Amino acid sequence: MRSQVPVDHDPAPRDSVPWRDPRLSPTQRAEALVPLMSLEEKVAQLVGVWVGAEASGDGVAPHQADMIDGAPTWSTIIQHGLGQLTRPFGTAPVDPVRGARSLAASQAQIVAASRFGIPAQVHEECLTGFAAWRATVYPAPLGWGASFDPELVEEMAGRIGRSMRAAGVHQGLAPVLDVTRDYRWGRTEETIGEDPYLVGTTGAAYVRGLERAGVVATLKHFVGYSASRGGRNLGPVSMGRRELADVILPPFEMALRLGGARSVMHSYAEIDGLPVAADEGLLTGLLRDEWGFTGTVVADYFAVRFLQTLHGVAADAADAARLALRAGIDVELPTVDAYGAPLVAAVRSGAVDEALVDRALRRVLTQKIELGLLDEDWQELPDDVADLRLDDGAGRDVAVRLAREAVVLLRNSDVLPLPAGRRVALVGPVADDPMAMLGCYSFPNHVGVRHPEHGLGLDIASLRDELARRVPRLRYEPGCAVTGGDTSGIPAAVAAATDADVCVLAVGDRAGMFGRGTSGEGCDAGDLRLPGVQAELVRAVLATGTPVVLVLLTGRPYALGPEFDAAAAVVQAFFLGQRGGQALAEVLTGAVNPSGRLPVSVPRDAAGLPGTYLTPKLGRRSEVSSVDPTPAYPFGHGLSYTTFDWSDAGVCGPAGEPAVDPAPAARWPVDGAVTVGITVRNTGSRAGTEVVQLYLHDPVAQTTRPVVRLVGYARVPLEPGAAARVTFGVPADVASFTGLGGRRIVEPGEVELRFGRSSGEPAATLSLRLTGAERPVGNRRELLTSVRVDPAVAVPHPG
């Protein structure tokens, strides 16, 4: 039931209170409420308060005093209302049911304390699952990218959203849409990959899943965060407008238009000297005026005050609030600071126009109305809270399916799958560590490490646990730790490998925060060598002559130079989640045929940085530089236990039928689309999934272009001997880029569409000519290449 509000706060009947009237639009209701509110009541809606749910179920405990000197008491904070509650489940371990009851109790207090009885909007982290104790932990975003399976990512996000909504949470701070630019950056594990099309399509799928569950998705981090100098967290960004427009921005545009995200979190970055938090051109001019975004812009944690303390563009808290509010930040998170008393004083003094407060307030109230928080029948406590379970069989099933698809087989000299009955040595510091499966924003790593007395709250098996169930003759030695210089365990690992028929060597990362791990926020790397003495362990084990399966459980790609070439097989996995041990063991033993593809390239040189596959010609190997940036394994690479044949590539008619064009290059109108297809056949003895990738090559353009860039992809599951025809409908808009005049254009001329097993392994190339006059494209351009996968039929080839 809705909380009872004191008589003097009780709203009038519905007919006389338009802001309660569900017959009006959310915008109309918000407009009706804004003029009734005092300045203090308005500003109260623009801030969050960091809280933790009490284990007793009686309420929440404010944590803002841990971060801000002289923070007000809870009763003072809520006397005029409250915009957001920050992470009541994600601050300390709490039983989910008791946490939901505590949250409901606090909402009742908020409603009762203020004149209008407006509940707070509740947000939580949800990148690898609802960041709450005992909630399912899914693979990290690099794993989503490795799957090349947006539909499964959408299913995962839907489950995450439903669990959050059932607990009383309204907003999730995900997905991360930063395109990987420098693998040394600690938050690489949170990115989906290094290609904007892969990031955008996968990120939009996540958004759809979360939003359809009734939870506001928040796009992070708008924009430029991943392109910091040296891969350092919060480092300045030196980036031209074309890189920003053509590489960094597209995933956000796709997630807004194709996913329907209702919130955006700005980035900590400063681009060419201007902090994004103060950039009106980005947060208002581009995001709202050009793209038409109508949702809320929320501050990354403490970023408003950072305009003063870190960037030095504001004199004090009030000045920081002025800059942020003018730029377009509607809500200050995580807790009340600059948007509190300093902002009120600045408005009263005339330093800040109250119209800016009203602008942000309208957006906040509109979103709360959309969520039902101002409806008469709103309830603090969901009816079925007693049955709340955040980790169930259905969630674990999605987690393991996604983890299986995220495992990438990089090399295999017939040592995998592991033969039955062989003696297997399992070596390495991450082989027997359940935490090696979890990213830094998983609850056990993000919060649980500070509360070891509560345990993980989940059943998370290590690789050793799962292999031991499948490999009877298994011997384990850690060899070394993830970090540190202790090599005393290496001789025992060498002995185990020497006595085995095959050795599985598992090395990698430990996710953490701000230097407490080797991957994660604030855990940047100086180069791409394996942490600690793990490379020494690898060299020593490889020297035994025993066939070695090198398994990398990491949050970023590490360099695999010539010293690793002796490995008989190489498997890459990026923080596979709570069922990752099972998925990895199934792939190693052959129960699952690997189908993952690299969402980031694996470099060969640990220091020839930065560089991703998305580069113009001079970013590749050349005679004018002694540094060779050629990767050990390119973006999109991945092997299978079966084999596939690709044939009959060609330009097709609109329905996929063969098309005959007498010109040397098929015509592709600059305002139209081209349909291309290829047949893929499973020529091996077991079922498998091929990932067909389509790349665009533009050999001559008015600005330098990437040698190739992804414009389409499809997962194609095939039984032995089966074949499928994969057809892509590619709109010319997908070939657009930022031209000389700073506008996005489709330029006529010769181009190629390349079917590839990876960005570095084309299987077939089609020459086309974009015809017509140079065409500007606006913000309603086509963003997606359509895909069809049909059972193969005999396709006559012209000529």
Secondary structure of 589-611 in HEC code, one letter for each residue: HCCCCCCCCCCCCECCCCCCCCC
User: Which residues, listed in sequence order, are joined to residue 219 by a DSSP beta bridge?
Assistant: 264
- Dihedral class, residue 224 (left if φ above 0, else alpha if ψ from -120 to 50, else beta): left
Q: Yes or no: say if 713 and 149 are a contact pair by the CB < 8 Å rule.
A: no
In terms of Cβ atoms closer than 10 Å to its own Cβ (0-12, 13-18, 19+), residue 179 is buried
pTM of the model: 0.95
DSSP H helical segments within 213-247, as ranges?
A: 241-243
- In whole angstroms, what is the distance from residue 451 CA to residue 267 CA? 29
Q: Quick check: 58 pLDDT over 60?
A: no
pLDDT digits (tens, 9 = 90+) for 516-538: 999 999 999 999 999 999 999 99
Q: How confident is the model at residue 12 (pLDDT cuts 50, 70, 90)?
A: very low
Q: Span 762-784, mean pLDDT? A: 96
Strand, coil or helix: what is 637?
Answer: coil
Q: Quick check: 72 pLDDT over 90?
A: no
Q: Span 576-602, mean pLDDT? A: 98
Q: Span 19-39, mean pLDDT? A: 97
pLDDT (0 to 100) of residue 382: 76
Residue 451 has a CB neighbour count (10 Å cut-off) of 13
Percent of the chain with pLDDT over 70: 93
Average pLDDT, the chain: 93
pLDDT (0 to 100) of residue 653: 77
| 4-18, 93-107, 648-662: segment of lowest average pLDDT | 4-18
Sheet strands side by side (includes 644-652): 644-652, 673-682, 723-731, 786-791
Question: At what angle are helices 341-349 and 354-370 packed, to 10 degrees?
Answer: 130
pLDDT (0 to 100) of residue 623: 86
Q: Span 260-271, mean pLDDT? A: 98
Q: Quick check: 114 pLDDT over 80?
A: yes
Q: What is the DSSP string of 148-186?
A: T-HHHHHHHHHHHHHHHHHTT--EE---B-PPP--TTSG
Q: How confident is the model at residue 797 (pLDDT cuts 50, 70, 90)?
A: very low
pLDDT (0 to 100) of residue 173: 98
pLDDT (0 to 100) of residue 490: 98
Both tokens of residue 604?
A: 């060969």
Cis check: omega of the bond before 791, within 30 degrees of 0:
no
Q: What is the DSSP string of 507-539?
A: EE--B-STTSSSBSTT---SSSSPSTTHHHHHH
pLDDT (0 to 100) of residue 664: 67
pLDDT (0 to 100) of residue 404: 98
pLDDT (0 to 100) of residue 236: 95
pLDDT digits (tens, 9 = 90+) for 453-469: 999 999 999 999 999 99
pLDDT (0 to 100) of residue 19: 95
Q: Which residue has the higher pLDDT, 790 or 796?
A: 790
Q: Quick check: 574 pLDDT over 90?
A: yes
pLDDT digits (tens, 9 = 90+) for 606-636: 986 668 999 999 889 888 888 888 999 999 9
DSSP H helical segments within 213-286, as ranges?
A: 241-243, 250-254, 280
Strand, coil or helix: what is 135?
Answer: coil
Q: Hunting for tokens 């980036």 — which residue is that?
A: 239
pLDDT digits (tens, 9 = 90+) for 722-743: 999 999 999 999 999 999 999 9
> C-alpha 233: how far from its chain's center?
17
Q: Yes or no: say if 57 and 98 are a contact pair by the CB < 8 Å rule.
A: yes
Q: Hunting for tokens 């690992």 — which residue is that?
A: 493
